[in-house]
């Protein structure tokens, strides 16, 4: 459930008209519903009631400080993949002892920052990373708490670019090599082995891949116990999908029930890293029609948001529903919704039946709360859009629209060019 609804043919975010937001701040902009984010987080949390767990929101899916602060206030932790995300999470008020650091390319500097910040755990993804972390922990004079991320070679049935648990992916350590990696970790004096980690992919709409991965991790858990390792945490990552079009992903209750049944009576704490399932349908991208044009084969609706604002359609051929902000059109026409960026791949919707939009109309691109602004860029020297949050009838700009001066921040012209 989300709080984007039509009232008298006008699209609202909670109790605020989307048109009103556009009048106040211009377009394009991202618009988030506070109540939707809060509800989605609580539904996910409640599904795991009675099971020891820690929910760490996937910061890469949406790293806005206001959203992170909202989730921190609900007791959420953070799954981070960079020093910048660590900085954001702590700045937003997420407790360091609820932060898990994932990613294949952690730098020594970021490892040091994370250790000094007192984060909960590192998900280590290679033997070399393990040895580097041991050295840094030694230099600081502490032990680094770790899980080793296992690649279980599970078919996750999602877009190939977001599969992360197959043998050909860069992530984690192959499950057949895991025992030797744990043996190395056990020998290192400044490593504290606490868990097993696994993440098989994003936007998964079936439960079976999660269950299969968990079964493999349970077998590994037993083998590690025989090695004398006291494994207290099992990190299953994120990946639970949402409805963009006609997908029918499992409800968090169904997901939690399957994991609970598969876990049995293993005395470990689950770590979960949801992202999209919390914020995906809690945000939209609002854009305004600039022009329309037709060729003998196509009709184009050209808007002021482009692939630099929302790259998912171009990158993954992802579907985002397109809705009018004002229900003033009875006619539907097939068209491409395209942006102003100088790339043929600059589209938000292709070959789609949509209202007969005309210049000046506002368009809502739905399900844009995850992997949307966080992947935005300044390509074509386009300032990134504003981000807005609504709570009831309250409206707040949680990120200002970039200005042209922001585009050249940090750049200098050297003396030899003057």
Percent of the chain residues topping a pLDDT of 70: 96
Instruction: Tell whether the model's pLDDT for residue 251 goes beyond 60.
Output: yes
For residue 168, the model assigns a pLDDT of 57
Stronger pLDDT, 213 or 400, i.e. the higher one: 400
Entry pTM: 0.93
Annotated catalytic residue, options 56, 142, 198, 342: 342
Please report where in the chains the tokens 């799954």 appear, as a residue. Answer: 79
Is 142 one of the catalytic residues? no
For residue 159, the model assigns a pLDDT of 42
Tens of pLDDT, residues 284-303? 999 999 999 999 999 999 99
Residue 390, strand partner residues: 33, 395
**Using an 8 Å Cβ cutoff, are 346 and 379 in contact?**
no
Stronger pLDDT, 277 or 213, i.e. the higher one: 277
Percent of the chain residues topping a pLDDT of 90: 78
Q: Where are the domains of the chain?
A: 4-32+280-407, 34-278
Tens of pLDDT, residues 357-395? 999 999 999 999 999 999 999 999 999 999 999 999 999
Please report where in the chains the tokens 């995300």 appear, as a residue. Answer: 85
As assigned by CATH, the class of the 4-32+280-407 domain is mainly beta
> 226: pLDDT confidence band, cut at 50, 70 and 90?
very high
Give CA–CA dist 221/295, Å, rounded.
Answer: 61
User: Average pLDDT for residues 34-58, to the nearest whole number?
Assistant: 95
Tens of pLDDT, residues 184-211? 999 999 999 999 998 877 788 788 888 8
Structure token digits, residue 217? 């991790």
Of 178, 150, 179, 176, give the one whose Cα is nearest residue 165.
Answer: 150
For residue 29, the model assigns a pLDDT of 98
Tens of pLDDT, residues 313-351? 999 899 999 999 999 888 999 999 999 999 999 999 999
On average, the pLDDT of the chain sits at 93
Give CA–CA dist 336/352, Å, rounded.
Answer: 6
Assign 3-class secondary structure to the chain.
CCCEEEECCEEEECCEEHHHHHHHHCCCEEEEEHHHHHHHHHHHHHHCCCCCEEEEEEHHHCCCHHHHHHHHHCCCEEEECCHHHHHHHHHCCCCHHHEEECCCCCCHHHHHHHHHHCCCEEEECCHHHHHHHHHHHHHHCCCEEEEEEEECCCCCCCCHHHECCCCCCCCCEEHHHHHHHHHHHHHCCCEEEEEEECCCECCECCCHHHHHHHHHHHHHHHHHHHCCCCCCEEEEECCECCCCCCCCCCCHHHHHHHHHHHHCCCCCEEEECCCHHHHHHHEEEEEEEEEEEECCCCEEEEECCCCCCCCHHHHHCCCCCEEECECCCCCEEEEEEECCCCCCCCEEEEEEEEECCCCCCEEEECCCCCCCHHHCCCHHHCCCCEEEEEECCEEEEEECCCCHHHHCCCCCCCHHHC
Instruction: Tell whether the model's pLDDT for residue 81 goes beyond 80.
Output: yes
Instruction: Tell whether the model's pLDDT for residue 154 goes beyond 80.
Output: no
For residue 163, the model assigns a pLDDT of 44
Instruction: Tell whether the model's pLDDT for residue 272 goes beyond 60.
Output: yes
Phi and psi at 246, nearest 5°, equal -120, 15
For residue 263, the model assigns a pLDDT of 82
**What's the fold here for domain 34-278?**
TIM Barrel (3.20.20)
**Using an 8 Å Cβ cutoff, are 150 and 195 in contact?**
no
Structure token digits, residue 231? 């494994």
Structure token digits, residue 344? 């043929």
* 177: Cβ contacts below 8 Å, ≥ 6 apart: none
Instruction: Tell whether the model's pLDDT for residue 250 goes beyond 80.
Output: yes
């Amino acid at each position: 459930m989300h709080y984007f609804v039509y009232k008298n043919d006008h699209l609202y975010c909670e109790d605020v008209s989307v048109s009103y937001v556009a009048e106040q701040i211009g377009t394009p902009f991202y618009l988030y519903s506070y109540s939707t984010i809060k509800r989605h987080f609580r539904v996910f949390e409640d599904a795991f009631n009675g099971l020891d767990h820690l929910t760490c929101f996937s910061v890469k899916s949406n790293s806005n400080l206001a959203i992170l602060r909202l989730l921190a206030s609900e007791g959420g932790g953070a799954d981070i993949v960079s020093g910048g995300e660590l900085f954001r999470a702590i700045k937003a008020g997420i407790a360091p002892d609820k932060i898990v650091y994932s990613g294949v390319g952690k730098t020594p500097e970021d490892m040091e920052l994370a250790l000094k910040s007192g984060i909960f755990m590192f998900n280590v993804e290679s033997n070399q990373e393990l040895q580097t972390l041991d050295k840094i922990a030694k230099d600081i004079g502490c032990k680094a708490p770790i899980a080793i991320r296992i690649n279980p070679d599970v078919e996750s049935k999602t877009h190939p670019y977001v599969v992360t648990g197959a043998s050909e992916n860069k992530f984690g350590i192959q499950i057949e090599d895991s025992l030797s990696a744990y043996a190395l970790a056990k020998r290192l004096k400044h490593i504290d082995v606490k868990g097993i980690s696994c993440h098989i992919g994003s936007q998964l709409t079936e439960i079976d891949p999660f269950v299969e991965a968990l079964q493999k991790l349970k077998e590994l858990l037993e083998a590690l116990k025989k090695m004398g390792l006291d494994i207290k945490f099992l990190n299953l990552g994120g990946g639970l999908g949402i409805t963009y079009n006609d997908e029918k992903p499992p409800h968090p209750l169904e997901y939690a029930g399957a994991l609970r049944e598969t876990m049995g009576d293993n005395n470990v704490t689950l770590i979960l890293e949801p992202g999209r399932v919390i914020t995906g349908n809690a945000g939209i991208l609002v854009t305004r029609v600039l022009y329309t044009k037709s060729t003998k084969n196509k009709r184009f609706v050209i808007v002021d948001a482009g692939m630099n604002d929302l790259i998912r359609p171009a990158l993954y051929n992802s579907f985002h529903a397109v809705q009018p902000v004002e229900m003033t059109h009875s006619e539907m026409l097939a068209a491409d919704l395209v942006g102003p960026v100088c790339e043929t791949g600059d589209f938000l919707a292709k070959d789609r039946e949509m209202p007969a939009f005309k210049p000046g109309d506002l368009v809502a691109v739905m399900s844009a709360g995850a992997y949307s602004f966080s992947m935005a860029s300044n390509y074509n020297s386009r300032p990134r859009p504003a981000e807005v949050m609504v709570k009831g009838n309250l409206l707040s700009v949680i990120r200002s629209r970039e200005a042209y001066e922001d585009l050249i921040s940090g750049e200098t012209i050297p003396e030899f060019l003057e």
